[in-house]
Amino acid sequence: MNFAHQIEGAAARAALWLLRRLGPARASNVCAVVARTIGPLLPVSRVADLNLRMALPELAKPERGRIVRGVWESLGRTAGELPHLSRLGETATGPGWELAGIEHLEMLEAGGGPAILFSAHIGNWEGVPIASARRGLHSATMYRPAGNPIIDDIILELRTAGVGPTGKQFAKGARGAREMLQHLRAGGCMGLLQDQKMNDGITAQPASDGVMMGPARRSSRWRSWPR
């Protein structure tokens, strides 16, 4: 841990304080505007534009720009809502979440694991394990540790506040994969976001260029549903 990490950690704590003061709806809106304004100017947005050109070559530049801005807005909302998720719940009017496919959660709760639930980084993915935990299904998750250990601790604290102490979180990597398999062998449930960028794994062909994706081959041994 270096001085830069400490400065970043202090700034993150200050931002959390402000976002909590704003409340869930205003925090989501403010972060959405900031991310939508600044995000497209960052170099990483050129990578997003390149990916869109490969995957959807028929899209014109203005349409690609609209999608990239929408991605940044969604990411901003996810960040703004994260400090509030532990205090939110199921609701049809918001702020909070609604659940579809509840029968799958009830089936897992009644029959137990092992089982794997697949999703992607769509909407506020941070709310999925919290919503399932409130329904009695404590699924473990895999996560990519932040480069700053202080920021990483803050994120883990926020997630634990939502899912409770029984919610397991395995860091991406060989050790995390072994822990995940042990958890499944013990009858646990796992939630996986399968659209992670990786430098190893298996080659998939969603576009003209192959991309590396994380395999979950052992899932064929257990029940699994998309979520």
- Reported as a single tens digit per residue, the pLDDT across 177-214 is 899 889 888 888 888 887 766 565 566 655 555 565 55
Please identify which residue in the block is written with the tokens 């972060």: 31
Contact 214, 194 (CB under 8 A): yes
Query: What average pLDDT does the segment 57-71 reach?
Result: 96
Size of the chain, expressed as the number of residues it contains: 227
pLDDT digits (tens, 9 = 90+) for 144-186: 888 899 999 999 999 888 888 778 889 888 898 899 889 888 8
Q: What local confidence, expressed as pLDDT, does residue 203 receive?
A: 64
Bridge partners for 60 per DSSP: none
> Residue 211 carries which DSSP code?
E
End-to-end CA distance of the chain: 37
Contact 186, 42 (CB under 8 A): no
Q: What is the pTM of this model?
A: 0.80
Cβ-proximal residues to 94 (8 Å cutoff; 6+ apart), any chain: 25
How far is it, in rounded angstroms, from Cα 95 to Cα 88? 7
C-beta of residue 203 within 8 angstroms of C-beta of residue 94: no
With H, G, I as helix, E, B as strand and everything else as coil, classify residue 17: helix
pLDDT cut 90: percent of the chain above it: 41
pLDDT for res 44: 94
pLDDT the model gives residue 218: 46
